[in-house]
A and B are shown apart, each in its own frame.
Chain A
Amino acid sequence: MSDDEKRVDDVTGIETTGHSYDGIEELNTPLPKWWLWTFYLTCIWGVIYTIAYPAWPLINSATAGLLGYSTRAEVAADIAAHEEQNAPLVEELLEIELASLDLGGDLARYSTQRGAAVFRAHCSQCHGAGAAGAVGYPNLLDDDWLWGGALESIAYTVRHGIRNETDWDAHYSEMPAYGEILTEEEIVAVVEHVETLFAGGPANALGAQIFEENCAACHGEAGLGDPEIGAPNIADAIWLYGGDRDTLIETVTHARFGVMPAWGQRISEEDVRAVAIYVHGLGGGE
């Protein structure tokens, strides 16, 4: 490349830039004026834009812009618009008898979505994001319910909680610690009897007798439990703390005392109902 010679091109009559690349020269064709004006206009537009909208960075924030626009405000407006749109559904949700809810209808669909959000925020810490629970924290996907799996029952449990000290209407039941009542041999016998309730197998006469005298009052003679008093069904495949013999002996010896907060004191009634509808729809609702 050389800068030495600017000359007028013979064919076009336009001056060259004087740049020559392997003998190929470059015409210095003038740009159109409108192009220049367009460039100026975009500069002016850019300045106006940064004045109208949030743009210039300051130390802790940025200029707000004369139009007062912010994405946060836009989201807030979106949320407000949705809430206004959903207001009739929320009103209906608060008034409806849950037992008469149309499970395929708009209200159920809205409540399920709302309940899913509530569940993730407040319930997933114990019951898991997938609602599968953990040892001591019930699995909400199955068809086994300690305090009842109908919509009203689930809503009551969520609202008032279980064995907490803040809500007088909380579910309450207490199994005695049989380690203070029965001998170790008797406990093993009754556990052996309980094992036959679901799995079948040879009967344990002593265990059956002890079961009838001590356990049947709450769990029922067949061990089917009673959701009215929170007595678990111990004749099914589902165990909250584990169904192996050692765990069962431990449960009978020391008893269990699961606690759940009264969510009615922490979240709104529409959220209580929505999360009940969500949990009911997870696959085990009655």
Chain B
Amino acid sequence: MSTSTPLYADREPIFPRRVKGVFRTLKWWIMGITLSIYYLTPWIRWDRGPNLPDQAVLLDLANRRFYFFWIEIWPHEFYFVAGLLIMAGIGLFLFTSALGRVWCGYTCPQTVWTDLFILTERWVEGDRNARVRLWNADWSFRKLRLRMTKWTIWLLIAVATGGAWVFYFADAPTLARDLVTLQAHPVAYSSVGILTATTFIFGGFMREQVCIYMCPWPRIQAAMMDPETITVGYREWRGEPRGKHRKAEGADQLGDCIDCNACVAVCPMGIDIRDGQQLECITCALCIDACDDVMDKIGKDRGLIDYLALSDETAERSGAAPRAVWQHVLRPRTVLYSVAWGLMGVALIYGLFIRPEIDMTVAAVRNPTFVTLSDGSIRNTYDVRLRNKHGEERPFRVALTGAPDLRVQVEGTPYDTVNVPADNTMLQRVHVVAPRGSVSALGDRIEVRLWVEDISNGERAHADTTFNGQGG
């Protein structure tokens, strides 16, 4: 076995330099918006009536309800959540095949929080050069002070991040008070603790290691991309041969790249984009901003590093114009992803609108199949689950069709009506009686349909079952 390559390697520290430009500005905006959504969403109130929580977005695991503004998801409607996850998956496929790792570069939590942590780092310790100096310096009071300041701010961000997470699972104001007064459930504290730790470690110390070694998505993405995918790249034909000595002899032989390393210095992944597309690149586009800035200064055209498709390389090299963006984006694969994504979305929205507010399921009691009463009538019993999704108690009337000689009686009442509590499923026994000597009583098994009607608004639901007579 050769000893030239060690089995394990230390992480190479990365000190991304500050950069300004179109994409950096875009990323600041996206960071602001995504972080606002994350931290503020649990605090949005939404009035659902007296019996239901008034939190706009709430994953109420204890009561098995998901609330999203006007939408309420019950456990039996979990396919909505599954559908949304599938849409999220296909959406990622679509964006990746069209624009490469645009999710990774702009909106992935790992990227957003790492960006925030690097911002903090720069604010405390200075820009790239100062941070490199501090890294190499021996431990001193100043280094300790700067490190402690940075870590403290990171920890505060991490606690806020872990803290915000749990608010999605309980009433935020109540839980916030309980957390502060040490009254909250241990699960809340351990969740906050774990997410604080992961945020602190992943954002502060692991950073690009998470993307390179822990995340499966970069590996999957290779299958989503093809030569038409628009991604961050280097116009090699224009840049090479690279060289620093613009005014020296033979400068006219050199390409546009002055080998200033600005693109490398700003890269949060610590790679050189000029080496071509590589696994580590999250397409954050900061190298584009850095290079454009340099091109402006030396009076060359922007776009030496740019969003471009591999298929344009040959065209551009021979001096032809690259194809338009829409020509790259619009291709069978993206159309297919869009159609699948759209169909899923339409199906979910359709499902949302036809979703009934009341529902019933029936399980016939089959031990025994029927009971003879003292007056000779035949009784069948059914376990009926009545579901009321309204925010208030509703009177439900149970009825039966399929045999005119059958009579319905809701157990515990002499009538056919029962009150179902708000936002609940109630198990109710229902008796169906065939009088002595009637066709249904003497006959075999017959198909019947049980109905439930919300008396207050006339909404109905039904379920099919069977009635067993003596002959059965």
Interface residues, chain A, with chain B CB atoms under 8 Å away: 6, 8, 11, 14-15, 28, 30-36, 103-104, 128-130, 132, 139, 141-144, 198, 233, 236-238, 281, 283-284
A15 touches B4 (CB 8 A): yes
- The yes or no answer to B249 lying at the interface (CB within 8 A) is no
Within 8 Å by CB of A144, from B8, B9, B368, B374, lies B374
- The yes or no answer to B252 lying at the interface (CB within 8 A) is no
In the bound complex, CA of A231 to CA of B350 (Å):
64
A139 touches B374 (CB 8 A): no
A112 to chain B, nearest CB (A): 11
- The yes or no answer to B412 lying at the interface (CB within 8 A) is yes
Q: Known: A14-B5, A130-B365. Is A32-B371 also a contact (CB below 8 A)?
A: no
B375 touches A236 (CB 8 A): yes
Q: Known: A104-B412, A236-B374, A237-B373. Is A15-B8 also a contact (CB below 8 A)?
A: no
Within 8 Å by CB of B7, from A11, A30, A142, lies A30
Q: Known: A14-B5, A15-B2. Is A33-B371 also a contact (CB below 8 A)?
A: no
- The yes or no answer to B436 lying at the interface (CB within 8 A) is yes
Q: Which residues of A contact B10 (CB under 8 A)?
A: 32-33
In the bound complex, CA of A130 to CA of B9 (Å):
69
Chain B residue nearest to A31 in the complex (CB): B8
Q: Which residues of A contact B9 (CB under 8 A)?
A: 30-33
B373 touches A143 (CB 8 A): yes
Q: What is the interface of chain B mostly: helix, strand, loop, or mixed?
A: loop
Within 8 Å by CB of A35, from B213, B367, B372, lies B213
Q: Which residues of A contact B376 (CB under 8 A)?
A: 198, 236-237
B11 touches A33 (CB 8 A): yes
- The yes or no answer to B471 lying at the interface (CB within 8 A) is no
Interface residues, chain B, with chain A CB atoms under 8 Å away: 2, 4-11, 206, 209, 213, 275, 365, 367-368, 371-376, 379, 381, 411-412, 429, 431, 436
12 more contacts with CB within 8 A, not counting A15-B2, A33-B9, A130-B368, are A15-B5, A31-B7, A31-B8, A35-B213, A128-B368, A132-B367, A132-B371, A142-B373, A142-B379, A237-B372, A238-B374, A281-B411
Can you give 28 contacting A-B residue pairs, CB < 8 Å?
A11-B275, A14-B5, A15-B2, A15-B5, A28-B5, A30-B5, A30-B9, A31-B8, A31-B9, A32-B9, A33-B9, A33-B10, A33-B11, A35-B8, A128-B368, A130-B367, A132-B368, A132-B371, A141-B368, A143-B373, A233-B374, A237-B372, A237-B374, A237-B375, A237-B376, A238-B373, A281-B411, A283-B379
Instruction: Please provide the 5 A-B residue pairs with the shortest distance between their CB atoms, ordered closest to farther.
Output: A130-B367, A237-B376, A236-B374, A132-B368, A30-B9
Q: Which residues of A contact B371 (CB under 8 A)?
A: 132, 139, 141-142, 283
B185 to chain A, nearest CB (A): 16
A6 touches B2 (CB 8 A): yes
Q: Which residues of B contact A6 (CB under 8 A)?
A: 2
Q: What is the interface of chain A mostly: helix, strand, loop, or mixed?
A: loop
Chain B residue nearest to A18 in the complex (CB): B2
Q: Which residues of B contact A128 (CB under 8 A)?
A: 367-368
A36 touches B8 (CB 8 A): yes
Chain B residue nearest to A199 in the complex (CB): B376
In the bound complex, CA of A212 to CA of B215 (Å):
92
Q: Which residues of B contact A141 (CB under 8 A)?
A: 368, 371, 379, 381
In the bound complex, CA of A281 to CA of B381 (Å):
12
B372 touches A238 (CB 8 A): yes
Q: Which residues of A contact B5 (CB under 8 A)?
A: 14-15, 28, 30
Q: Which residues of A contact B375 (CB under 8 A)?
A: 236-237
A32 touches B411 (CB 8 A): no
In the bound complex, CA of A238 to CA of B373 (Å):
7
A221 to chain B, nearest CB (A): 18
A135 to chain B, nearest CB (A): 13
B374 touches A32 (CB 8 A): no
In the bound complex, CA of A35 to CA of B368 (Å):
63
Q: Which residues of A contact B381 (CB under 8 A)?
A: 141, 283
In the bound complex, CA of A141 to CA of B429 (Å):
13
B2 touches A237 (CB 8 A): no
B365 touches A34 (CB 8 A): no
Centre residue among B2, B371, B379 by max chain A CB count within 10 A:
B371
Q: Which residues of A contact B411 (CB under 8 A)?
A: 281, 283
A32 touches B368 (CB 8 A): no
Within 8 Å by CB of A34, from B2, B209, B374, lies B209
B197 to chain A, nearest CB (A): 13
A129 touches B11 (CB 8 A): no
B374 touches A30 (CB 8 A): no
Chain A residue nearest to B413 in the complex (CB): A104
Q: Which residues of B contact A104 (CB under 8 A)?
A: 412
Q: Which residues of B contact A237 (CB under 8 A)?
A: 372-376, 436
Chain A residue nearest to B276 in the complex (CB): A11
B4 to chain A, nearest CB (A): 6
Within 8 Å by CB of A283, from B213, B367, B431, B436, lies B431
Q: Which residues of A contact B374 (CB under 8 A)?
A: 142-144, 233, 236-238
A55 to chain B, nearest CB (A): 22
B447 to chain A, nearest CB (A): 23
Q: Which residues of A contact B372 (CB under 8 A)?
A: 142, 237-238
B204 to chain A, nearest CB (A): 13
Q: Which residues of A contact B368 (CB under 8 A)?
A: 128, 130, 132, 139, 141
In the bound complex, CA of A119 to CA of B194 (Å):
47
B11 touches A34 (CB 8 A): yes
In the bound complex, CA of A33 to CA of B381 (Å):
67
In the bound complex, CA of A238 to CA of B436 (Å):
12
Chain B residue nearest to A104 in the complex (CB): B412
A146 to chain B, nearest CB (A): 12
B6 touches A30 (CB 8 A): yes
In the bound complex, CA of A238 to CA of B368 (Å):
15
In the bound complex, CA of A148 to CA of B4 (Å):
95
In the bound complex, CA of A201 to CA of B39 (Å):
84
Q: Which residues of B contact A236 (CB under 8 A)?
A: 374-376
B99 to chain A, nearest CB (A): 26
In the bound complex, CA of A128 to CA of B411 (Å):
21
B7 to chain A, nearest CB (A): 6
B178 to chain A, nearest CB (A): 21
Centre residue among A14, A34, A132, A144 by max chain B CB count within 10 A:
A34
Within 8 Å by CB of A32, from B213, B367, B373, B431, lies B213
In the bound complex, CA of A281 to CA of B427 (Å):
14
Chain A residue nearest to B214 in the complex (CB): A35
B468 to chain A, nearest CB (A): 13
Centre residue among A8, A15, A283 by max chain B CB count within 10 A:
A283
In the bound complex, CA of A213 to CA of B15 (Å):
113
Q: Which residues of A contact B4 (CB under 8 A)?
A: 8, 15
Q: Which residues of B contact A130 (CB under 8 A)?
A: 365, 367-368
Chain A residue nearest to B381 in the complex (CB): A283
